Amino acid sequence: MKPKIAVITYEARGSYNTQDVADEDELLGNILDQLDIFYRFEVWSDSAVDWSQYDLLLLKSPWDYFDRYKEFKMWCEKISSLNIPLVNSVTTVLWNSDKRYLKEIELAGYSIVKTFFLENGGVKAQLESCFELFDAEQLVIKPTISGGAKNTFKINRDNWEEIGCKLDKLKGDESFMVQPFVDEIVEVGEYSYIFFRGEFSHAVLKSAKNGDYRVQHFYGGKIGNIQPTEMELQYLQSLVDSYAKDTLYARVDGVWRGGDFLLMELELIEPYLFLFTSSVAVQNYKKALEQMICHQFERFGS
């Protein structure tokens, strides 16, 4: 008897993909077919799904979770109560869903992009003080629970009051974080390092199109392969060992400033894995999936 696996996706499946990148849901399906694994794609928010029929749930593209966060959190808790393994784990997913985890990582001694979390009170007053706090002319503001640059604002000393009014309206439903604008994003790009089962697989440099600062491919960003140095990889491996050791997949996003890596995000929920960039990436993913499935269901062999 083969294990039954549900690959978790979202209602508008495929809407984030563009002609410039591969559909990783489809690629994952091909890999599972090659491994002769029974699977079915399921929408996490579909109330008609009988989750108890599955032996394992594999998160791949629940890309609307931050738009329906309360619902998603309840779904995670339901899966946990059913004792169905979720990969990555429910504990990891819930911890990683709120970017306040960055403070925990910083307190452990790792460098992050300087971050101020907007607390209760007037947003505009706090924004004004952030220019002085960071000694910056431009700031970036984003929700602590978000993705895909949703409700992300780039502000300067000329427009901060206008944006502050918008944030005051949004803040009733969301918490926000403020960071100094990172010049390296425009000048160089944002680095993404992908790890499978705690081991480095591949890396890319994402660069924004001219006139923009958002590096996501659906905003016109470009993607190129890169190879970290041994020293860089040693630092990144330490970070993964500390916070993503038992994960199937982890993506470390950030920039290099001099010899320091400034972490922007540690993606452990539904990261795009840039598998289309090389055959090595696909093979590493396939190997990790096979090992993970065998680990979860040793009785089924490899």
CATH number of the domain at 261, please: 3.30.470.20
**In the block, which residue shows the tokens 């950030």?**
254
In this structure, the answer to whether residues 127 and 219 fall within a common structural domain is no
Mean of pLDDT over the chain: 88
193 & 269 share domain: yes
For residue 302, what are its two tokens? 């490899």
The angle formed by the CA atoms of residues 272, 60 and 1, to the nearest 5 degrees, is: 145
Rounded to whole angstroms, how far apart are CA atoms 36 and 17? 26
SS3 content of the chain, % helix, strand, coil (to 5): 40, 25, 40
pLDDT tens digits, one per residue of 97-117: 999 999 999 999 999 999 999
Mean pLDDT along residues 274-295: 94
Same domain, yes or no: 8 and 49 = yes
Q: Does 23 share its domain with 107?
A: no
Are residue 106 and residue 234 in the same domain, yes or no?
yes
Are 131 and 211 within one domain?
Answer: no
Helix residue ranges, H only, the chain: 24-34, 69-81, 90-96, 101-107, 123-134, 160-170, 183-187, 230-243, 279-296
Count structural domains, the chain. Answer: 3
CA 144 to chain CA centroid, nearest Å:
12
| Mean pLDDT computed over 135-160 | 85
Write the single-letter amino acid at 163: I
Residues 107 and 231 in one domain: yes
pLDDT at 21 over 80: no
Band (pLDDT 50/70/90 cuts) for residue 152 is confident
Q: Which domain holds residue 230?
A: 101-111+184-274
Domain termination site, one of 136, 161, 181: 181
What token pair was written down for 270? Answer: 């539904």
The whole-model pTM stands at 0.90
Same domain, 152 and 188: no
Say if residue 89 is in the same domain as residue 199. Answer: no
At 49 the pLDDT is: 98
Whose CA is closest to 249, among 275, 230, 218? Answer: 275
CATH number at residue 15: 3.40.50.20
What is the pLDDT confidence band of residue 60, given thresholds at 50, 70 and 90?
A: very high
pLDDT digits (tens, 9 = 90+) for 241-282: 999 989 999 999 999 998 999 999 999 999 999 999 999 999
Sorted by sequence, the CB contacts under 8 Å of residue 260 that are 6+ apart come out as 111
